[in-house]
Structure 1
Amino acid sequence: MVDLTPNPSFSLTIRLTVPNRAGMLASVTQAIAQVGGNLGQIILIEQTRKISTRDITIDATSTEHAEQIVQAVKALADTKIINVYDRTFNLHRGGKISIASKQPLDSPVELAMAYTPGVGRICHAIAEDPEQVYSLTIKSNTVAIVTDGSAVLGLGNLGPAAALPVMEGKAMLFKEFAGIDAFPVCIATQDTDSIIETVKNISPVFGGVNLEDISAPRCFEIEARLRRELDIPVFHDDQHGTAIVSLAALTNALKLVNKSIEDVRIVINGAGAAGVAIGRLLRKAGAKTILMCDSRGVLSKNRNDLTEQKREFAVEAAGSLAGAISGADVFLGVSIPGVVTPEMIRSMAKKPIVMAMANPTPEIQPELVEDYVAVMATGRSDYPNQINNVLAFPGIFRGALDCRAQEITANMYLEAASAIASLVKASDLDREHIIPSVFDERVVTAVAAAVQRAARQDGVAQR
């Protein structure tokens, strides 16, 4: 395994003092470089005739690597470290989101309207006409981000409290990218019925529900039942967000290699929530040949350990992941690090497309196969072609809320993927640019518009 690229996830700032003489800063930066640290901003805090005090920001590859960098600086003669702080931990201290009032509250007059007695008139109005809850409260622009903490990122079953930082981050993305007020709801149970009942009981507050980090196969039942029993859109981002962005990226990658989705052989490694959803959406987009693998190899009809969802993709063939990849046109990984080798990639068809989306370490490091693949994508921001769900879910919910969609349909997924793919012009399309940036301001608008059109076509829009 090649070394990972230093990245902001493991970013630290060192405040240090050195004698104010030529070459001292250079000795510090050289020591950092020698242990593989990636230098960022350097700020001069104070300088006298005798000393200089600076903040030096460095990206590392891991917590252990960050400590190695600190020790390398400490070992320098005449260098004194004043403070070291982890920038990621500092960003999270005190939480990342807050609730803010939309109206001023500076006088008894405003208080009487915002709260009692004036608010009573609003309560009566909603009781008489429940539809007014959408125009007189936050409901029309509010999403619940619901988790039980059973499948947090790629970290496993950490529980609801440990899942909260992820849900806060999700709420930030909803607000910053789509102007949606989303709030974390981390439920202290992993019982399917209890989760469903809890979400139903809090649903009067919210215009939509985003399910997050709930383990398979329970996530499939929870989403299906909530969709049947609620009249607001329910969306499991780990499934459908990943599938939408994967389809968008694959659409453009296939253009580059002059292949059609109907003709290519696709291997999906990982048969959990994301893998199953990707497979389902690719089929709806026209894919004919999909081999799905889990930790035991190809999902074969001969196996007796398959869940209901896995049986959807069971085939007559059997064998290992290596056997499945041989001759394949496309590899899509939503599994674990390092399960694919360069030899396996070299066994693929000509102009292979590899989307290794395990995070933070992909199924295969791009550096190992960059000379063998036509297109390479990962889930990481420090490589080209990041498959990031933030390209999908803000626009999905923006569109669904704005048209008061009762549900989110497969047609809405397809149209969202098409909208994302269309933002990369033919003249800009290349092996390192098959998907727009998450910071492209056109994305949310384009996805929201596509979702609304599809909702009206499917008859689920209420306005």
Structure 2
Amino acid sequence: MKKQNADKLHSTGASAQPRGMSLLTDALRNKGTAFSEAERDALGLRGLLPPRVFTLEEQKQRALGNLRRKPTNLEKYIYLTTLQTRNETLFYRVLQDHIEEMMPLVYTPTVGQACLEYGSIFRRPRGLFISIRERGRIAEILRHWPIADVRMIVVTDGERILGLGDLGALGMGIPVGKLSLYTACAGVHPGYCLPITLDVGTDNDTLRNDPFYIGLNQKRVRGPEYDEFLDEFVAAVKTVFPRALLQWEDFGNTNAFRLLASNRSKICSFNDDIQGTASVALAGLLGAHRITGGSIEKQRILFLGAGEAGTGIADLFVTAAMDAGLTEAQARACCWFVDSEGLVVKNRKGRPLAHHKIPYAHDHAPIATLAEAVEALKPTALIGVSSQARAFTEPIVRRMAALNKHPVIFALSNPTAKAECTAEEAYQWTDGRVVFASGSPFDPVKLGERTFVPGQGNNVYIFPGVGLGALACGATEVTDRMFLTAARTLASMVGEEDLAKGRVYPALTRIRAVSLAIAVEVAKEAHKEGLATLPKPADLEADIRQSMFEPVYQDCL
């Protein structure tokens, strides 16, 4: 993925350099008021723009002023998406230079509200909507995309959007947001990126009764018809975009695990909810050990929630613990789960355990509640992936603090309204001894003379770098060991200054450096596993760095 190839992408699979109004409506090429005098004459822009020529920096400052005047985060989201559809270079300049301010606006937590209202705030199409009605025509629809050399696809069927549930076609905000982070945080060229929503209906009665709902007004298709639709989709992607990496995003538990298992060797792909969440959480646990003085093989982790995220974290933890010397059985014994029916154990009555829970169903008496599980198991870490707001109550958190000098508590559910506890609650109830991380951002917390900066266990620390590394080496598969490598790389980039503030992740201002470091190590792992199809350059880091997209205007003459 050489930089020169990325620079030529604008003409790949598209028409030659547009002129006049066509150029001004091409978001990848448009420079707005930054077109030079010579460009205005040569490209038929004279008179279509006001006379003054502005620099990119001046445009950025004006955009920031307009953005900051918006009264709500949703209005800011709408402004940014409108800017993205008008001028991608300017959009990414704003995003990249002010990533801490912009991240909560383009992704969690604001993207959750944006998805809920996606139909009403819909302005211009972005990405592809492929419905079950298009069975037999998916390859044809993929070819409607104006750029032929797509390298990065994020796809959802909208069944489990964040912690909000089944939003059907409204879930498009997730692929759009994730791909904007690929570009801002890892330099994947925006022209390589394609967001896709697969619309198979929705089981959300409210949406189906909404006369303005933008998706199919029908119950979700399941079973063989769904599987055949997905099989056709994967085959079509391989045919139309043979160099693309496919990221599965926000699929329901009933489909997510088996789609990953059945397709990961067929097409270069991964599931961010399972593997990306696992990697970022494991990195947080590794960072926490530098505060607690513990080690991975001595942990007892209690998860609230036994879906994609929780079991994904546990699976990667098991891999890391086995590397540290434990047997697989010993490693799995470190991980315990509480789901909607209580502690996951072998002899539990009720519904049969889902396949992905069975490896973590241990021999233990049934326990009904999280509080009772904490008392019985005495965990060193409590991880929330349940979407149950405030499930980590004061008595539970205080008990964790009584059991551990530095209790590890990760409230990872998104958006903010679904977090199992807030940062302020966690620090106050433990007298500042907690090692805390969350899925959505929380403000710093002042407690006595100390100010704690809670770490955000955001997948953005992982998936952009993993994707960049896979593309850079032409990986044919994304393996679990690549995510383990990514976790260890991320943990190694947490500095003593971060730890002193209680933060187990680097500052977001370092995200490009983090993504580059992860990409390098992922590419090395791909070469080690024999999964790279491109030759390994003499200086892998320099090669990947020079391929990363920078939002600066190119001369159009």
Question: Does TM, normalized by the shorter one, top 0.5?
Answer: yes
SS at match of 1:217: helix
In structure 2, the residue matched to 1:333 is: 384
CA distance in 1, matches of 2:413, 2:427: 17
Q: How does 1:26-45 map to 2 (within 5 A)?
A: none
2:181 aligns with one of 165, 173, 178: 173
Identity across the alignment (%) = 31
1:68-121 Cα distance to aligned partner (Å, 9 max, x none): xxxxxxxxxxxxxxxxx9323333348758889xxxxxxxxxxxxxxxxxxxxx
1:193-245 Cα distance to aligned partner (Å, 9 max, x none): 31232122122314210111111021111111111323xx2011111111111
Q: How does 1:174-189 map to 2 (within 5 A)?
A: 174-180=182-188, 181-189=192-200
Q: Do structure 1's residue 299 and structure 2's residue 344 form an aligned pair?
A: yes
Q: Do structure 1's residue 429 and structure 2's residue 440 form an aligned pair?
A: no
Letter in 1 for 2:514: V
Letter in 2 for 1:165: G
In structure 1, the residue matched to 2:263 is: 226
Larger Rg: 1
CA distance in 2, matches of 1:98, 1:201: 30
Q: Do structure 1's residue 200 and structure 2's residue 235 form an aligned pair?
A: yes
Letter in 2 for 1:146: V
In structure 2, the residue matched to 1:324 is: 373
Cα deviation for residue 407 of structure 1 reads 0.6
Pair 1:389–1:334, CA change in 2 (3 A): same
In structure 2, the residue matched to 1:367 is: 424
SS at match of 1:311: helix
Name the TM-score, length of structure 1 as normaliser. Answer: 0.70
Any conservation in 1 of the 2:423–2:442 contact (CA below 8 Å)? no
Q: How does 1:42-53 map to 2 (within 5 A)?
A: none
In structure 2, the residue matched to 1:149 is: 158
1:128-167 Cα distance to aligned partner (Å, 9 max, x none): xxxxxxxxx964x61111111111111111112x011221
CA distance in 2, matches of 1:207, 1:281: 25
Q: Do structure 1's residue 381 and structure 2's residue 465 form an aligned pair?
A: no
CA distance in 2, matches of 1:168, 1:186: 10
In structure 1, the residue matched to 2:394 is: 342
SS at match of 1:154: coil
In structure 2, the residue matched to 1:158 is: 167
In structure 2, the residue matched to 1:276 is: 311
Instruction: Give the structure with the higher percent strand.
Output: 1
Any conservation in 2 of the 1:208–1:234 contact (CA below 8 Å)? yes
Pair 1:341–1:187, CA change in 2 (3 A): same
Cα deviation for residue 430 of structure 1 reads 2.6
Cα deviation for residue 305 of structure 1 reads 2.4
Pair 1:240–1:97, CA change in 2 (3 A): farther
1:393-417 Cα distance to aligned partner (Å, 9 max, x none): 1100111111111111111111100
Pair 1:321–1:96, CA change in 2 (3 A): farther
Q: Do structure 1's residue 455 and structure 2's residue 526 form an aligned pair?
A: yes
Letter in 1 for 2:181: L
1:285-329 Cα distance to aligned partner (Å, 9 max, x none): 115511111111111111342110011211112212112223211
SS at match of 1:91: helix
Cα deviation for residue 44 of structure 1 reads 11
In structure 1, the residue matched to 2:446 is: none
CA distance in 2, matches of 1:216, 1:274: 10
Letter in 2 for 1:392: I
Letter in 2 for 1:221: R
Please, which runs of 5 or more residues in structure 1 have no aligned partner? 1-40, 46-54, 61-84, 101-136
Give the length in aligned residue pairs.
349
Q: How does 1:68-147 map to 2 (within 5 A)?
A: 86-93=75-82, 139=149, 142-147=151-156
Any conservation in 1 of the 2:474–2:533 contact (CA below 8 Å)? yes
Any conservation in 1 of the 2:498–2:506 contact (CA below 8 Å)? no
Pair 1:157–1:370, CA change in 2 (3 A): same
Any conservation in 2 of the 1:325–1:345 contact (CA below 8 Å)? no
SS at match of 2:288: helix
CA distance in 2, matches of 1:97, 1:446: 32
CA distance in 2, matches of 1:370, 1:293: 23
1:355 aligns with one of 410, 425, 434: 410
In structure 1, the residue matched to 2:483 is: 413
Cα deviation for residue 369 of structure 1 reads 2.8
Letter in 1 for 2:271: H
Letter in 1 for 2:244: G
Q: Which has the higher contact order (CA 8 A, sep 6+)?
A: 2
Letter in 2 for 1:299: V
CA distance in 2, matches of 1:91, 1:154: 23
Letter in 2 for 1:260: S
Cα deviation for residue 56 of structure 1 reads 5.5
Cα deviation for residue 330 of structure 1 reads 0.2
Say what the alpha-carbon RMSD is for the aligned residues.
2.6
CA distance in 2, matches of 1:455, 1:347: 43
CA distance in 1, matches of 2:532, 2:476: 6
Any conservation in 2 of the 1:217–1:272 contact (CA below 8 Å)? no
1:211 aligns with one of 238, 248, 268: 248
Any conservation in 2 of the 1:376–1:431 contact (CA below 8 Å)? no
Any conservation in 2 of the 1:268–1:275 contact (CA below 8 Å)? yes
Q: Do structure 1's residue 446 and structure 2's residue 455 form an aligned pair?
A: no
Instruction: Give the structure with the higher percent helix.
Output: 2
